[in-house]
Structure 1
């Protein structure tokens, strides 16, 4: 069942696309560092963008997704929020999935003759199903859509928060350290995160984030930070817009998998929904697990990069 976009929907989408296009054009003219700096200074434009994104997501995407999910099975779900929540519940709150993946990794490490003494000690100290709430970092959150799920302890960050419970944070340039560091906002504005905790999160979510960034280097930098912020066996969930047929962007997605494998992140799930592709990457027990995959499956077109379709459009 196709949903016809309303006039408001189209207007909001146009505003969002215009800001993306401007950032990409400025990056070509000024270079990535200077363009990003100027982008962060355009506070009024960023706030307008953030408001438009929230209205589009809440009043259009989520409403349409709920309507269509009511008439389809779970296997045909459309919502990026529902998809993320369901997978996190399956992975963290049930024993079968995480144990199956863990045992596969341990067998591989044994084959590679890698000492697993420390790894086994860490695993023995863990409790599964997970005790306590899932530590959840939502990057580029805008309006904190995951806050309503009680199993998540959410830290939501964005360069231009649309809600007061979202921290202002430039994830590209935020420092990493032993603990989170927050400074209070002024005039009822969102507080600012100045530092994030290394190995502090069970889940890091990039939902429609990487496409916002105009260069492969910036996208990789975000993924490198996510790897450092994740606990062992934690998840990086990436949701990317994709309205084409299921195999249209297959090479790009395989290159993403190859690049993230270089970091120690193994892809354990990919699913193409109607307008998005959803992927889950796991921080492996040892980086050699994903590095082995990258060596075995490398194709000539694969490089250490994260490219998106817009990178090949000379008009953007």
Structure 2
């Protein structure tokens, strides 16, 4: 065995110091080498960390971006204020005077207010609502419902359900069936759908090739929209013409429109229209007129604003459904977006009952502002409501069966079982009115 010689302490310290220095140097280089192998740079803990530059999201921190966002918000609030002031003015006059015909006539003669309103609505639709709508947006939703119903078999499916229901009812009552030989045309792929857009403002459906669109408004914002007061529109007897002749008739309409033949359109759209009127009776008249203008099995599409959560105005939506179905409609679709209700009704009968007003159906087309429970400024967002009574809670609980989870087909078997007779005297809000 070799003898190990003792080293001087100074030499040991020197070697240990050198070894420690080498280890520290190697340790400082290892992360750097590893970082280079991984495609990024690392530094030792003793060195100052370099600042890492990241690109901010557009408009988040840049002063100009903040200014643009603030300007856009201010512009939207200003335009919304114009719309809300017009609505408030109409409601206030209706409460004070009570004569809606007089109020509406004066309103239609106030060209300055109407022009400001038309400009505000078009600017909101072009520059603000189009950027912030949820899902497909109200115009695209209307288009997709028409596509599904007229072109993708929706109407055929509903007619088959209607026939099955009639057959079961006849079997239960023991009455013989009367075969209906008049079946509607189910082919629309080679023909345009005649669409009436009431309160059109800027004619948003004109860009779609599948529609032959007639947009009407009391003050049009664009030249393609006809001037027309829908409440005072006079209806004539239906034209007994072929489809291509009816299309030619619509293409030759003259401005302003004061009369139209009945049963002319496949689709009637009320986009943000009904809440414009301060009287439930006027909303009901609009729906009645839409029924007369639609062909049998045509669609009435209604969009009305509401930023509340889905269940808050469930009772109101059920009341609307009963009132509109009393005119000869059946609800086809219902969906609640973040800021609006979207409803589709199909026309299932040519005529309406002659005893509608006495059943208080017009008053069932109410909105919260009719009772002063919701200020116009809060019409598009959630706000506090007074506590409900026990009877209201019970009624509201029953009405939750009406709510959709997503797109809702009220012609389904489930929804029909939920269509129990609903009398206006059971509605506490209508009792209050």
Report the TM-score range of the alignment, normalised by the length of the smaller protein.
0.7 to 0.9
Aligned to 2:101: 33
Aligned to 1:145: 204
TM-score by length of 2: 0.61
Is the Cα–Cα contact under 8 Å of residues 139 and 209 in structure 1 kept in the other structure? yes
TM-score by length of 1: 0.83
Aligned to 1:104: 161
Aligned to 2:257: 193
Structure 1: gaps (5+ residues) = 69-76, 185-190, 291-300
Q: Distance in 2 between matches of 1:23 and 1:115?
A: 51
Aligned to 1:6: 73
Aligned to 1:236: 300
Q: Distance in 1 between matches of 2:79 and 2:177?
A: 54
Give the alignment partner of residue 329 of structure 2, picking from 229, 249, 265: 265
Is the Cα–Cα contact under 8 Å of residues 142 and 301 in structure 2 kept in the other structure? yes
Aligned to 2:217: 158
Shift of residue 98 of structure 1?
A: 1.3
Matched, 1:170 2:237: no
Is the Cα–Cα contact under 8 Å of residues 255 and 303 in structure 1 kept in the other structure? no
Q: Distance in 1 between matches of 2:271 and 2:213?
A: 14
| Bigger relative contact order (CA 8 A; separation at least 6) | 1
Is the Cα–Cα contact under 8 Å of residues 266 and 283 in structure 1 kept in the other structure? yes
Distance 1:39 1:116, change over 3 A: farther
Distance 1:114 1:129, change over 3 A: farther
Aligned to 1:249: 313
Give the alignment partner of residue 134 of structure 1, picking from 193, 210, 216: 193
Q: Distance in 2 between matches of 1:313 and 1:201?
A: 36
Give the alignment partner of residue 90 of structure 2, picking from 20, 23, 26: 23
For each residue in 1:182-219, what CA deviation from the matched residue of structure 2 results, as whole angstroms up to 9, or x when unmatched? 875xxxxxx21011220001000000000000100000
Matched, 1:94 2:143: no
When Rg is computed on C-alpha atoms for both structures, the one with the higher figure is 2
For each residue in 1:233-269, what CA deviation from the matched residue of structure 2 results, as whole angstroms up to 9, or x when unmatched? 0000000101111111100100011011111111111
Aligned residues: 285
Q: Distance in 1 between matches of 2:350 and 2:323?
A: 16
RMSD: 2.7
Structure 2: gaps (5+ residues) = 1-68, 240-248, 354-359, 377-433
For each residue in 1:85-132, what CA deviation from the matched residue of structure 2 results, as whole angstroms up to 9, or x when unmatched? 11111111112x211111111122232458553xx3221x51324540
Q: Distance in 1 between matches of 2:138 and 2:110?
A: 29
Give the alignment partner of residue 306 of structure 1, picking from 361, 365, 371: 365
For each residue in 1:280-314, what CA deviation from the matched residue of structure 2 results, as whole angstroms up to 9, or x when unmatched? 001015779x9xxxxxxxxxx98752001111216
Aligned to 1:48: 116
